């Protein structure tokens, strides 16, 4: 009898476990601020409420959104009620590192804001690679693989927030000539050489003879020596990336093969050796990528501040459901190019404003599809007009 009771109890436990919706492993072992927050929601069984179900559902849904943005970029998002989360897809240009900076509306400082960055794998699934840590104001990432990334923004349950997000890029490498900068470039990638027989596979940086040439990256010296074109040269293999850095026309080399170097270490001195013997002293600077050969080094060292489009001072329509006053094209990216056109929306189409740009909006249609439209006239839906008038009485 005891054995039968134990067996029945075991069967009951197994049926209960199978019938229950499993809690994700991340909520047993949370890592990110959002996962810690989700753990607290599970503790109070928020996932059983209508609002909680919407919060968790949208959180997962936006990981499949495909709206694409190009940096430098800035957008103001609405997060709240049925839209607690939004996302964007992007790629980091080769040679650049991405800087993500969120800025909350001054009236929303008490609301939660979670940012998580994902890499879209070859099977289409997102893999988290970074997140905004508590008490940090920016998220920075260098990416050498050219992967498509996805950034998810989310606020807390039953919270509402307006957050401005800026994406900018910065060079991944240190400028290679001490005390000099972009204003000293005298020849660029692709310029004709030898009467058009070949093109320039690098950039030239003018500097007085004897100016220190420095390591742009941490790595080790793979080659020093002399050749006909480059004269006295140095090659660095960068740590943790597929790039080799080439320095040519040096007056002298101050490193040896196998030597470890760090950013800013002096490698040699500017000169005009090799086929530059008749020119003013300068450094020829090149970058080579394993498997693809020479790449344009300019993005890797260009430290000129990017111009980022501004945002409207006042957010008149953000979060509202509106009707458009004239037909307009909807796009899958913030560049509004014909290549990413989704469809044309007719006059009086009903939309909801999810975000605003310098010259446009992120919108959602009644069927759930999302996109970007350029600036256009709107009018609030009748019911919302009545609600606003009631609120002001």
Q: What is the CATH number of the domain that holds 270?
A: 2.70.70.10
Q: What pLDDT score was predicted for residue 249?
A: 97
**Helical packing angle, 50-61 and 33-43, nearest 10°:** 150
Among 171, 198, 224, identify where a domain stops.
171
Among 301, 335, 350, identify where a domain stops.
301
3-state secondary structure of 129: strand
Q: What pLDDT score was predicted for residue 314?
A: 83
Q: What pLDDT score was predicted for residue 390?
A: 42
The verdict on 164 and 194 lying in the same domain is no
- Residues forming a β-bridge with 130: 117
SS3 for 3-50 is HHHHHHHHHHHHHHHHHCCCCCHHHHCCCCHHHHHHHHHHHCCHHHCH
Q: What pLDDT score was predicted for residue 17?
A: 46
205 and 314 Cβ atoms separated by less than 8 Å: no
Closest to 72 measured CA to CA, from 263, 357, 375: 357
**DSSP for residue 264:** T
The verdict on 162 and 271 lying in the same domain is no
The verdict on 286 and 214 lying in the same domain is yes
Burial grade of 162 (CB within 10 A; 0-12, 13-18, 19 or more): buried
Domain that residue 141 falls in: 23-171
| Domain count along the chain | 3
CATH assignment at residue 364: 2.30.30.40
Mean pLDDT of successive 10-residue segments in the chain (393 residues)? 58 51 63 95 95 97 96 95 96 93 82 95 92 92 84 96 95 96 88 66 94 97 95 95 95 97 97 94 94 90 92 89 96 95 96 96 96 94 52 40
Burial grade of 222 (CB within 10 A; 0-12, 13-18, 19 or more): middle
The verdict on 140 and 255 lying in the same domain is no
Q: Is 381 left (phi over 0), alpha (psi -120 to 50) or beta?
A: beta
The verdict on 360 and 276 lying in the same domain is no
Half-sphere exposure for 270 (CA within 13 Å, toward CB): 23
Q: What pLDDT score was predicted for residue 135?
A: 86
Q: What pLDDT score was predicted for residue 30?
A: 86
């Amino acid at each position: 009898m005891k054995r039968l009771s134990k067996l029945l109890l075991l069967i009951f436990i197994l049926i209960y476990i199978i019938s229950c919706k499993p809690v994700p492993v991340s909520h047993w072992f949370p890592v990110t601020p959002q996962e810690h927050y989700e753990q607290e929601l599970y503790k109070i069984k928020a996932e059983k409420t209508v609002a909680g179900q919407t919060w968790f559902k949208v959180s997962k849904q936006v990981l499949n959104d495909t709206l694409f943005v190009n940096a430098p970029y800035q957008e103001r998002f609405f997060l709240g009620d049925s839209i607690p989360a939004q996302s964007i897809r992007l790629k980091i240009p080769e040679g650049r590192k991405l800087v993500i900076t969120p800025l909350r509306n001054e009236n929303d400082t008490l609301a939660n804001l979670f940012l998580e960055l994902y890499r879209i794998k070859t099977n289409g699934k997102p893999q988290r690679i970074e997140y905004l840590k508590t008490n940090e104001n920016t998220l920075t990432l260098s990416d050498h693989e050219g992967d498509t990334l996805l950034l998810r923004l989310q606020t807390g349950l039953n919270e509402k927030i307006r957050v401005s997000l800026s994406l900018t890029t910065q060079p991944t490498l240190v400028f290679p000539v001490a005390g000099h900068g972009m204003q000293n470039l005298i020849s660029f990638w692709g310029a004709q050489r030898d009467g058009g027989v070949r093109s320039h596979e690098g950039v030239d940086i003018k500097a007085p003879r004897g100016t220190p040439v420095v390591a742009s990256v941490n790595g080790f010296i793979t080659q020093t020596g002399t050749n006909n074109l480059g004269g006295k040269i140095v090659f660095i293999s960068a740590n943790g990336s597929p790039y080799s850095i080439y320095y040519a026309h040096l007056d002298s080399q101050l490193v040896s093969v196998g030597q470890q170097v760090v950013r800013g270490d002096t490698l040699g001195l500017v000169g005009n050796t090799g086929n530059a013997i008749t020119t003013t002293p300068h450094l020829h600077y090149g970058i080579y990528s394993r498997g693809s050969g020479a790449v344009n080094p300019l993005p890797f060292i260009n430290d000129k501040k990017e111009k980022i489009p501004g945002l409207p001072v006042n957010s008149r329509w953000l979060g509202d459901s509106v009707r458009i006053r004239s037909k307009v094209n909807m796009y899958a990216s913030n560049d509004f190019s014909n290549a990413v056109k989704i469809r044309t929306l007719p006059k009086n189409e009903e939309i909801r404003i999810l975000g605003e740009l310098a010259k446009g909006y992120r919108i959602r249609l009644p069927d759930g599809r999302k996109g970007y439209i350029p600036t256009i006239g709107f009018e609030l839906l009748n019911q919302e007009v009545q609600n606003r008038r009631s609120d002001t009485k």
